[in-house]
Amino acid sequence: MNENFNNTRRARTLGIVFLVFAALMLVLFLPGTTGSQRTTFAFDLELSQALPIGSLTFSTQGGLYLLAVVAVFLGAWQLAKGFKQVYLILGVVVLMFVLAFLTWAARDNSMNMTGMLQATLLRAVPITLAALSGVMCERCAVINIGIEGMMLMGAFTSALIGSLSQSAWVGLLAALLAGGLMGALLAVLAIRYKVNQIIAGTAINILSTGLTSYFGSRYLQSIPELNRPLTFGPVPLPVLSRIPIVGPVLFTNTVPVYLMLILVFVIHVMLFYTRWGLRTRAVGEHPKAADTLGVNVLKTRYINVILGGMVAGLGGAYLVLSSVARFDENMTAGRGFIGLAAMIFGKWSPIGSLGASLIFGFADSLRTNLAILRVPIPSQFLLMAPYLVTMIVLAGVVGRAVPPAADGEPYEKQ
């Protein structure tokens, strides 16, 4: 009864939220425009193998009205009848709001949407990998707050070994090893010594920051040859890379990006459709029951946490081997923590984590695009927006995120 009441109330709130978004599109973006202004969205990238499809030019005000009308319609439908997949519709409405913003920002100008999507995906890669690392660990009830540190170790090792070996692949493997080692450290502390997992993770963060910065300033700064790794170049997939928009965004990437996309899919399938996943989730929710049924709780945790560390190491390697081609002190810059937020936002699922990471990636990519368009809003406020949206969405609709039941608790065999 109460549940039902809550559901209708939530449904109504969401309908109103859709209408508010529609109103905001008009109130925020319409005043600064004139009827003669036109917006151009381009879709072709230079030096791309994709088939050209040209660009789309339309009246700025017309575009804004169209988006607002569709949002009003969705809101009215939600209030009157209700959508089944209401969160999907919420996503669509938020996306339309973003489109309205871009329509306004690119008035009398042209914006390359394919470039925007590409940048969004690339910036989301390290965040997604961080979140996946968290998912791997927390699904078997080990909290991993040391992702940031594991990524740093991965980044440092890939730069050093990638330079010494003059091979990006060897650098990548070294990063996986370094991340796995830090994962093993977390596992030993959390499982064998039953250290409070948040302490263990914090210690790993501080230790990794110290180790990478210390050895970085001792060696990488004084001997530049040690900080010049070979990097991965983009590998366009045959045929697929020729599809417009999708081709350049998804199928013309470097190896670590493909690995990330594959990992999201593989971990999702493994977690929800295989015996290993069932065991992992059982260990995360009710270790005692899992133990009774013959699952080796401790072994499951060791394996998952070490694999999680390797995934985080891959995230660090991405930053070095396909992004900036060198190691800098603290270059992860909080991405491990954003990844944690993405994991919680994505409700501890790989696909949800990817979705949340894309939001943060989009935020990151706005920085460069808006600088080009010379938007009159202080850039700082635009850069705040995605964090604000995350908070609002979290408070308004997602609400309580429920972690695995045994998350953070050491297991003692009786």
Partner 1 sequence: MSAKDATHKTAKNKMQAHRSHKRWRTLLTPLMAIVTALILGAIVIAVTDISVYEAFQQGVGAGLLRVVEVVATAYGAFFSGAFGNPARMVRGLSIWITTGDGRAWVQSLYPITETLRYATPLIFAGLAVALGFRGGLFNIGAEGQYFIAGLTTVFVGYALTGVPWFIHAPLALLAGILGGALWGVIPGYLKAKTGAHEVINTIMLNYIAFRFAEFMLDVGGPMARGDGRPVSPFVQPSARLAQFFPSNPDIRFNIGFILALLAAVFVYWLLFKTTVGYEIRTVGQNPRAAKYAGMSVARTIVLTMALSGGLAGLAASTDILGVIGFMPNAFSSGYGFDAIALALLGNSHPFGVVLASLLFGALQAGARNMQAIARVPLDLTDILQGLIIIFIAAPAIIRALYRLRPAEGGEEVVMTRGWGQM
Site of interaction with partner 1 (CB under 8 A): 143, 189, 193, 195-196, 198-200, 202-211, 213-219, 334, 337-338, 340-341, 344-345, 378, 380-381, 383-384, 387-388, 390-391, 394-396, 398-403, 407-409
* Of residues 3 and 46, the one with the C-beta less far from partner 1: 3
| In the complex, least distance from residue 378 CB atom to partner 1, rounded to whole angstroms | 5
Nearest C-alpha neighbor of 317 from the set 329, 306, 332:
332
* Of residues 151 and 168, the one with the C-beta less far from partner 1: 151
| In the complex, least distance from residue 253 CB atom to partner 1, rounded to whole angstroms | 27
DSSP string, 205-260: HHHHHHHHHHHIIIIITT-GGGG----PPPEEPTTGGGSTTHHHHHSEE-HHHHHH
* Of residues 107 and 281, the one with the C-beta less far from partner 1: 281
Distances in Å between the Cα of 326 and the Cα atoms of 131, 209, 223, 230 are: 23, 16, 13, 9
Q: What SS3 class is residue 339? A: helix
| In the complex, least distance from residue 251 CB atom to partner 1, rounded to whole angstroms | 32
| In the complex, least distance from residue 166 CB atom to partner 1, rounded to whole angstroms | 24
* Of residues 19 and 343, the one with the C-beta less far from partner 1: 343
Distances in Å between the Cα of 272 and the Cα atoms of 275, 279, 289, 339, 382 are: 9, 10, 18, 21, 37
* Of residues 5 and 80, the one with the C-beta less far from partner 1: 5
Angstrom distance (rounded) from CA 363 to CA 297: 39
| In the complex, least distance from residue 142 CB atom to partner 1, rounded to whole angstroms | 11
Distances in Å between the Cα of 161 and the Cα atoms of 63, 286, 315 are: 51, 41, 16
Distances in Å between the Cα of 306 and the Cα atoms of 12, 150, 179, 411 are: 45, 11, 8, 17
Contact between residue 127 and residue 335 where contact means Cβ atoms under 8 Å apart: yes
Nearest C-alpha neighbor of 227 from the set 158, 173, 168, 174:
158
* Of residues 64 and 124, the one with the C-beta less far from partner 1: 124
| In the complex, least distance from residue 337 CB atom to partner 1, rounded to whole angstroms | 5
* Of residues 42 and 364, the one with the C-beta less far from partner 1: 364
DSSP string, 150-183: HHHHHHHHHHHHHHHHT-HHHHHHHHHHHHHHHH
Contact between residue 128 and residue 342 where contact means Cβ atoms under 8 Å apart: yes
| In the complex, least distance from residue 362 CB atom to partner 1, rounded to whole angstroms | 14
Q: Which amino acid is at 12?
A: R
Distances in Å between the Cα of 97 and the Cα atoms of 20, 316, 359 are: 11, 33, 13
* Of residues 239 and 388, the one with the C-beta less far from partner 1: 388
* Backbone torsion region of residue 58, taken as left when φ is above 0, otherwise alpha when ψ lies between -120 and 50, otherwise beta: beta
Residue 106's φ and ψ, nearest 5 degrees, are -100, 20
| In the complex, least distance from residue 184 CB atom to partner 1, rounded to whole angstroms | 13
* Of residues 76 and 181, the one with the C-beta less far from partner 1: 181
